[in-house]
């Protein structure tokens, strides 16, 4: 009998401790805002929380789900099941929607590669031409204070333009 | 009134067509009389557009509800300033304003002193006239601001202006944006004219420089004022929401920024001719594309301008201009490739500029792709997905960060060929100090990689620019033996273009600082009883009372909240909700207490009968720096084109000679 009472007490204490330790969420919680940040909320996501009742309801709903023990992925999964990809503020990262994420960087990569190729061709051509250049020209191109000279030149240029 | 309005529009259309025909025949027959006739028509178009615009302003100001446009966007109780700004609140009025600016720019180019005896003038003005004709066509036959109600159907009262638009932002945002948008027609016309004339040197670049910077500065102002308006006007999502229409004005801004950098390489090294022409053509086409987006309503946007079938006309005109530009560019491609300069090394100012261009264009593509992706996705996958803030923030953050990093490098790197020593000498100290900044920020408790990297890169960019100013001053002192202040002042003034550009960079750096900082915002939505206090960050807010007052026909409910910061009283904020007599939806006036460190942003959300009120309270760090940076950026660009003796000089035209000009 005593064993049973102790067991029940231990169980009650465990449940109680879990209740005390479990974090409670309200709509001001960072985690709520973070999860809500993924949802389009039927087009209300760009509205202000203070004045948009739809957005307000979503925030409360997310806080409730967190309090019920759902985690972020589960909550987002719930919305996914309800609304599909259209319920979110950004495209999926799979299927055709993946192109939304990838294409800008593919284009940027292709542009950078094209730039590199042009640069390489130009530099190689310059190197060939430069083989016959006198040594002092090469030295000059590596002059220490080239950038400072550049400023000086531009000042002199401006002065020349002004006076002549 | 109706007759004058209609007549000014139709005559404007007729004269635009006449001017274009007389220019075309005048060019073909090299007949100066026809060219002069065309120029006269251009001036008349400007006068007619001024008459139409002034007349519509008068009708709006006098609440003449016989006119559909006036009845749709004004009411008798509207304050006069908002009656007048209703000129650009609707489709027809804003198109009239667009046409007015177009006619103004056309007349300015045609009668500019600098364009005197310039054989390019008739070509340039003809290209601009193509646009004028299109806009007059729309005004005449599709969306006429002087359409009247049939007799007996004239309403006694107008519908009024959307309260969201009754904001100082409405006065400045559309005007500045339109001046920027329309202004891009000018460099585009210069570029196309140079192609048609086979004038392949940098003359058009030099002549169009001021026009481009002016358009770019206005575009910047338009975007920033729009952001500021969105920030203070609720429901529009902070200061930048990546709305399709915001994106539409951001894209040409990015491409013109790229152009303003790459033309320096053409001017200095005769390189990138095709690239520069392409950039200015793309910029102009993006303005048309943006206008199509705004007017067609094919994408959901907070800027609703969609009306009837007007989008079709814009799409047709856009397609026509794309084909025309492509044809002209391709037909001159072989000429452009001739005599083009080359890159000397991997590491040089010109290569870093071009890399900056690629990143800017990559960013433009990312924005473009994100903007149109809902339509593409619907067409291909059958799902209309939302592409919102999380997408753009994720994709654009690394791109814009890379851009700032390059911006830090470009000013200090040498032209033609940079040596390792050059790089070490220029970048070592800024890099070390930036790393120290990184350590300080990390010590302050910031652990996320993105803000750590961003603040470090921003610090690096700021330092390299400071180094550039110091080096310039020192270099000048060496030559002139002036003291530091005089040397610095003269350096700035004498090299306005160069240092104006650096001031623009400083503006961008400050904006980036504000944007990164604003991500550390704190937000609370709370319901308080009178007398309750709330703590958020280092603020203590005490909700004191809820009151009501009357402003004209409108009722305003406002809360008074006492603010303490770090234990000190700093005053009150009074967030409001406005209830309009002639508009169903109330609007919210945010109370913003702005400092250089952070903004306290309070919204009155709702209230109960017992005066309990719900507030949304945000503490947004560093937002002020976005506005300060924007002002610096605009001032820098204006400084770069400041007049003076040198500014008055005209580059020499060396292209094909013509009898007419």
Lowest average pLDDT, out of A89-93, B80-84, B248-252, B421-425, goes to B421-425
Please tell me which residue of chain A has the smallest CA distance to B394.
A101
Q: What is the pLDDT of residue A153?
A: 66
Q: Which residues of chain A lie closer than 8 angstroms to B345, CB-CB?
A: 123, 126
Q: Which residues of chain B lie closer than 8 angstroms to A84, CB-CB?
A: 383
* Orientation of helix B185-197 relative to helix B168-183, angle to 10°: 0
Rounded distance between C-alpha atoms, residue B401 and residue B92, angstroms:
40
Q: What is the pLDDT of residue B86?
A: 94
Rounded distance between C-alpha atoms, residue B291 and residue B311, angstroms:
9
Residue whose pair of structure tokens reads 């542009």 in the numeric block? A111
**Distances from the Cα of B405 to the Cα of B351, B409, B434, B446, angstroms:** 14, 7, 12, 21
When pLDDT is cut at 50, 70 and 90, the band that residue B422 belongs to is: confident
Task: Tell me which range, B163-172, B357-366, B545-554, B647-656, is most confidently predicted by mean pLDDT.
Answer: B357-366
Lowest average pLDDT, out of B282-286, B389-393, B655-659, goes to B655-659
Q: What is the pLDDT of residue A101?
A: 95
When pLDDT is cut at 50, 70 and 90, the band that residue B348 belongs to is: confident
**Distances from the Cα of B652 to the Cα of A162, B198, B260, B306, B615, angstroms:** 16, 16, 21, 46, 64
Q: Which residues of chain A lie closer than 8 angstroms to B412, CB-CB?
A: 147
CB A127 within 8 A of CB B411: no
Rounded distance between C-alpha atoms, residue B111 and residue B121, angstroms:
9
Q: Which residues partner with B560 through β-bridges?
A: B545
Q: What is the pLDDT of residue A130?
A: 65
Q: Which residues partner with B556 through β-bridges?
A: B549, B578
Reduced 3-state DSSP string for chain A: CHHHHHHHHHHHHHHHHHHHHCCCCCCCCHHHHHHHCCECHHHCCCCCCCCCHHHHHHHHHHHHHHHCCCCHHHHHHHHHHHHHHHHECCCCCCHHHHHHHHHHHHHHHHHHHHHHHHHHHHHHHHHHHHCCCCHHHHHHHCCCCHHHHHHHHHHHHHHHHHHC
Mean pLDDT (chain A, rounded)? 78
Rounded distance between C-alpha atoms, residue A62 and residue A25, angstroms:
9
Q: What is the pLDDT of residue B624?
A: 95
Lowest average pLDDT, out of B342-346, B437-441, B482-486, B574-578, goes to B342-346
Q: Tell me: pLDDT of B433 over 80.
A: yes
Q: What is the pLDDT of residue B259?
A: 95
Closest CA to B214 of B604, B653, B643, B591: B643
* A46 interfacial to chain B (CB closer than 8 Å): yes
Q: Tell me: pLDDT of B657 over 90.
A: no
* A162 interfacial to chain B (CB closer than 8 Å): yes
Q: Dihedral (C-alpha) B294, B297, B298, B300: value to the nearest 10 degrees?
A: 90
For B381-397, how does the pLDDT look when each residue is reduced to its tens digit (9 = 90+)? Answer: 888 888 988 999 999 99
Q: Which residues of chain A lie closer than 8 angstroms to B358, CB-CB?
A: 108, 111-112, 115
Q: Averaged over B187-205, what is the pLDDT?
A: 92
Please tell me which residue of chain B has the smallest CA distance to A108.
B362
Q: How many CB atoms lie within 10 A of CB B592?
A: 18
What phi and psi values does residue B189 have, to the nearest 5 degrees?
Answer: -65, -40
The B residues from 302 to 361 touching A (CB cutoff 8 Å) are: 302, 342-346, 351, 354-355, 358-359, 361
Tell me which of A159 and B38 has the higher pLDDT: B38
For A91-121, how does the pLDDT look when each residue is reduced to its tens digit (9 = 90+)? Answer: 999 899 999 999 999 999 999 999 999 888 8
Tell me if B358 and A37 make a contact (CB, 8 A cut-off).
no
Rounded distance between C-alpha atoms, residue B263 and residue B255, angstroms:
12
- Which one of B270, B386, B470, B614 would you mutate to disrupt binding with A, by most A Cβ within 10 Å of its Cβ? B386
ipTM for the whole complex? 0.86
Residue whose pair of structure tokens reads 């016959």 in the numeric block? A132
pLDDT exceeding 70 applies to what percent of chain B? Answer: 96
Q: Averaged over B230-249, what is the pLDDT?
A: 80
When pLDDT is cut at 50, 70 and 90, the band that residue B480 belongs to is: confident
The B residues from 180 to 199 touching A (CB cutoff 8 Å) are: none
Tell me if A89 and B386 make a contact (CB, 8 A cut-off).
yes
Tell me which of B198 and B415 has the higher pLDDT: B198
* B467 interfacial to chain A (CB closer than 8 Å): no
Query: B7: buried, middle or exposed (CB in 10 Å: 19+, 13-18, 0-12)?
Result: middle
Closest by Cβ to B422, choosing from A37, A89, A146: A146
Q: A11: which residues sit within 8 A by CB, 6+ positions away?
A: none
For B50-74, how does the pLDDT look when each residue is reduced to its tens digit (9 = 90+)? Answer: 999 999 999 999 999 999 999 999 9
Q: Averaged over B310-335, what is the pLDDT?
A: 93
Closest by Cβ to A100, choosing from B369, B417, B471: B369
Q: What is the pLDDT of residue A163?
A: 54
Q: What is the pLDDT of residue A140?
A: 40
Q: What is the pLDDT of residue B224?
A: 94
Q: Tell me: pLDDT of B420 over 90.
A: no
For B509-522, how does the pLDDT look when each residue is reduced to its tens digit (9 = 90+)? Answer: 999 999 999 988 89
Distance of CA B638 to the CA centre of its chain: 15
**How many residues in chain A?**
164
The A residues from 89 to 128 touching B (CB cutoff 8 Å) are: 89-92, 95-97, 100-101, 103-105, 107-108, 111-112, 115, 118-120, 122-123, 125-126
Q: Tell me: pLDDT of B646 over 60.
A: no
Rounded distance between C-alpha atoms, residue B244 and residue B290, angstroms:
8
Distance of CA B82 to the CA centre of its chain: 22
Q: Tell me: pLDDT of B237 over 90.
A: no
Radius of gyration of chain A measured on its C-alpha atoms: 33
Q: What is the pLDDT of residue A135?
A: 44
* B493 interfacial to chain A (CB closer than 8 Å): no
CB B114 within 8 A of CB B207: yes
Rounded distance between C-alpha atoms, residue B348 and residue B351, angstroms:
5
CB A46 within 8 A of CB B386: no
H/E run at residue B617:
strand B613-621
Q: Averaged over B453-472, what is the pLDDT?
A: 93
Mean pLDDT (chain B, rounded)? 90
Q: Which residues of chain B lie closer than 8 angstroms to A124, CB-CB?
A: none
3-state secondary structure of B650: coil
Tell me if B603 and A51 make a contact (CB, 8 A cut-off).
yes
Q: Tell me: pLDDT of A146 over 60.
A: no
Closest CA to B635 of B461, B499, B473: B499
Q: What is the pLDDT of residue B180?
A: 95
Alpha helices in B142-243 (DSSP H): 168-183, 185-197, 203-232
CB B525 within 8 A of CB B604: no
* A16 interfacial to chain B (CB closer than 8 Å): no
3-state secondary structure of B401: helix
Please tell me which residue of chain A has the smallest CA distance to B494.
A158
Question: What is the DSSP secondary structure assignment for residue B573, as one 8-state letter?
Answer: E
3-state secondary structure of B317: helix
Q: What is the pLDDT of residue A3?
A: 67
Sign of CA dihedral B41, B46, B50, B52: positive
Q: Tell me: pLDDT of B368 over 90.
A: yes
Q: What is the pLDDT of residue A22?
A: 62
Q: Averaged over B544-549, what is the pLDDT?
A: 95
**Distances from the Cα of B597 to the Cα of B230, B442, B518, B620, angstroms:** 20, 18, 10, 9
When pLDDT is cut at 50, 70 and 90, the band that residue A141 belongs to is: very low
Q: What is the pLDDT of residue B305?
A: 62
């Amino acid at each position: 009998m005593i064993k049973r009472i102790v067991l029940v007490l231990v169980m009650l204490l465990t449940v109680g401790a879990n209740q005390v330790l479990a974090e409670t969420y309200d709509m001001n919680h960072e985690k709520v805002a973070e999860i809500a940040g993924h949802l389009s909320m039927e087009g209300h996501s760009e509205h202000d929380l203070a004045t948009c009742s739809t957005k307000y309801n979503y925030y409360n709903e997310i806080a409730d789900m967190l309090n019920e023990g759902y985690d972020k992925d589960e909550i987002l999964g719930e919305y996914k099941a309800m609304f599909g990809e259209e319920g979110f503020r950004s495209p999926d990262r799979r299927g055709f929607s993946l192109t939304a994420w990838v294409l800008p960087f593919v284009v940027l990569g292709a542009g950078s590669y094209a730039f590199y190729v042009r640069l390489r061709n130009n530099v190689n051509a310059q190197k060939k031409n430069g083989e016959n250049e006198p040594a002092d020209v090469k030295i000059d191109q590596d002059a220490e204070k080239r950038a400072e000279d550049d400023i000086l030149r531009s000042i002199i240029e401006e002065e020349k333009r002004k006076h002549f | 009134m109706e007759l004058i309005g209609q007549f000014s529009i139709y005559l404007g259309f007729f004269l635009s067509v006449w001017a274009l025909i007389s220019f075309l025949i005048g060019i073909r027959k090299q007949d100066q009389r026809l060219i002069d006739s065309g120029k006269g028509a251009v001036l008349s178009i400007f006068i007619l557009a001024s008459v139409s615009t002034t007349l519509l302003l008068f009708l709006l100001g006098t609440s003449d509800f016989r006119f559909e446009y006036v009845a749709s966007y004004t009411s008798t109780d509207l304050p006069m300033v908002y009656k007048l700004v209703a000129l650009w609140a609707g489709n027809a009025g804003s198109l009239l304003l667009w046409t007015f600016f177009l006619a103004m720019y056309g007349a300015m180019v045609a009668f500019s002193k600098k364009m005197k005896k310039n054989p390019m003038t008739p070509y340039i003005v003809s290209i601009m006239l193509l646009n004028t004709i299109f806009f007059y066509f729309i005004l005449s036959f599709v969306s006429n601001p002087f359409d009247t109600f049939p007799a007996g159907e004239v309403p006694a009262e107008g519908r009024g202006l959307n309260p969201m638009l009754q904001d100082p932002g409405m006065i400045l945002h559309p005007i500045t944006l339109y001046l920027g948008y329309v202004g891009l027609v000018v460099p585009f016309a210069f570029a196309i004219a140079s192609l048609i004339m086979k004038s392949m040197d940098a003359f058009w670049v030099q002549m169009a420089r001021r026009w481009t910077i002016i358009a770019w500065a206005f575009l910047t102002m338009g975007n920033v004022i729009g952001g500021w308006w969105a920030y203070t006007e609720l429901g529009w999502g902070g200061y930048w929401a990546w709305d399709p229409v915001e994106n539409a004005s951001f894209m040409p801004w990015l491409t013109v920024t790229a152009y303003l950098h790459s033309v320096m390489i053409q001017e200095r090294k005769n390189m990138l001719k095709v690239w520069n022409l392409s950039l200015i053509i793309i910029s102009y086409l993006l303005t048309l594309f943006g206008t199509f987006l705004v007017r067609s309503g094919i994408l959901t946007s907070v800027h609703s301008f969609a009306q009837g079938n007007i989008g079709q006309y814009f799409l047709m005109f856009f397609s026509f201009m794309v084909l025309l530009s492509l044809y002209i560019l391709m037909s001159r491609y072989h000429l452009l490739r001739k005599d083009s300069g080359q890159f000397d090394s991997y590491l040089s100012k010109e290569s870093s500029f071009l890399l900056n261009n690629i990143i800017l264009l990559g960013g433009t593509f990312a924005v473009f792709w994100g903007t149109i992706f809902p339509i593409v996705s619907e067409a291909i996958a059958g799902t209309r997905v939302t592409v919102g803030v999380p997408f753009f923030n994720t994709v654009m953050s690394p791109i814009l960060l890379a851009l700032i990093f390059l911006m830090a490098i470009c000013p200090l790197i040498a032209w033609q060929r940079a040596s390792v020593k050059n790089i070490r000498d220029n970048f070592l100290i800024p890099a070390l100090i930036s790393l120290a900044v990184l350590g300080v920020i990390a010590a302050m408790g910031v652990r996320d990689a993105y803000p750590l990297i961003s603040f470090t890169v921003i610090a690096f960019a700021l330092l390299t620019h400071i180094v550039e100013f110091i080096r310039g001053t020192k270099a000048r002192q060496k030559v002139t033996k002036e003291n530091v202040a005089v040397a610095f002042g003269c350096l700035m003034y004498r090299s306005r273009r160069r240092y104006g550009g650096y001031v623009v960079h400083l503006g961008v750096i400050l904006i980036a600082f504000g944007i990164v900082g604003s991500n550390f915002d704190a937000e609370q939505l709370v319901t308080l009883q009178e007398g309750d206090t709330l703590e958020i960050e280092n603020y203590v807010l005490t909700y004191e009372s809820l009151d009501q007052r009357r402003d004209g026909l409108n009722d305003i409910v406002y809360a008074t909240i006492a603010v303490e910061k770090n234990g000190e009283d700093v005053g009150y904020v009074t967030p409001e909700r406005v209830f309009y007599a002639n508009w169903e939806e109330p609007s919210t006036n945010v109370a913003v207490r702005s400092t250089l460190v952070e903004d306290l942003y309070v919204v009155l959300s709702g209230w109960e009968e017992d005066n309990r009120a719900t507030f949304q309270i945000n503490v947004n760090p560093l937002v002020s720096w976005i506005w300060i940076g924007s002002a610096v950026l605009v001032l820098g660009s204006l400084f770069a084109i400041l007049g003076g003796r040198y500014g008055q000089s005209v580059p020499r035209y060396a292209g094909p000679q013509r009898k007419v000009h």
